[in-house]
């Protein structure tokens, strides 16, 4: 199957079966989403959603977070991964929002990556989710699933994968495709043992064609 046909099949399936996909992080405004995404690095959305209600109640806007200290923030996020570093990043991020961006979360990736704790992936999430820009955030799920499906080819870095995905996806689907890939990777195309036997898109999956198709056929014929 040609790569353009894989993309066509990918968009056709998910636009029909999951047209309203969205982040599983709970948030009420751009500031809260930014905090949640920073916290979510190498941590589950479920854990972050357990932590953020108390955190947002104590720090409902950038000003209160900027006036706090990493030690205080740590007490609210101690159960997430790397809480010490993330506490420092959150306070630094809030101070920069207040001082440099008038307490508003910026739209452009180039501005977002200036904030402490914000890498390209986080910046793309904010740009796409909040501002509906055609930005593709590549986390471990997106990187893995795009490679397995054959949407990327020899992409050895998240940036390389991002460039290939943005090149081939229709512009109006890029932001949504990020969620499609994440959710598929979270619940079906998992890292160690992908659930190919229940996957609805094996008909255009390169990994399935190469590794699983013959085995499943053999199993069903036994």
Among residues 126, 36, 38, the alpha carbon closest in space to that of 86 is found at 38
Per-residue tokens: 67? 């006036």
Residue tagged active-site, from 95, 121, 171, 195? 121
The sign of the dihedral angle between the CA atoms of 62, 64, 68, 73 is: negative
Residue tagged active-site, from 86, 88, 139, 171? 139
Cβ–Cβ under 8 Å, residues 40 and 48? yes
Is 121 catalytic? The answer is yes
CA dist 14 and 62 (Å) reads: 36
Among residues 114, 98, 108, the alpha carbon closest in space to that of 31 is found at 98
Catalytic residues: 121, 139
């Amino acid at each position: 199957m040609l790569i353009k046909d894989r993309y066509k099949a990918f968009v056709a399936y998910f636009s029909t079966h999951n047209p309203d996909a969205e982040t599983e992080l709970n948030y009420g405004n751009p500031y809260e989403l930014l905090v949640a995404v920073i916290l979510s690095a190498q941590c589950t959305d479920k854990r972050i959603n357990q932590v953020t209600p108390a955190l947002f109640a104590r720090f409902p806007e950038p000003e209160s977070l900027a006036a706090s200290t990493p030690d205080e923030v740590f007490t609210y996020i101690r159960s997430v991964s790397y809480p010490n570093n993330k506490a420092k990043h959150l306070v630094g991020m809030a101070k920069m929002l207040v001082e440099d961006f008038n307490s508003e979360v910026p739209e452009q990736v180039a501005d977002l990556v200036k904030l402490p704790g914000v890498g390209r992936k986080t910046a793309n999430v904010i740009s796409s989710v909040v501002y509906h820009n055609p930005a593709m955030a590549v986390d471990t799920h997106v990187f893995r699933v795009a490679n397995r499906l054959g949407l990327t080819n020899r992409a050895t870095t998240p940036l390389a994968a991002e460039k290939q995905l943005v090149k081939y996806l229709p512009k109006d689907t890029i932001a949504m495709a990020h969620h499609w890939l994440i959710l598929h990777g979270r619940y079906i195309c998992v890292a160690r043992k992908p659930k190919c036997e229940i996957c609805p898109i094996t008909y255009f999956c390169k990994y399935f064609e190469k590794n699983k198709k013959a085995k499943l056929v053999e199993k069903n014929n036994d």
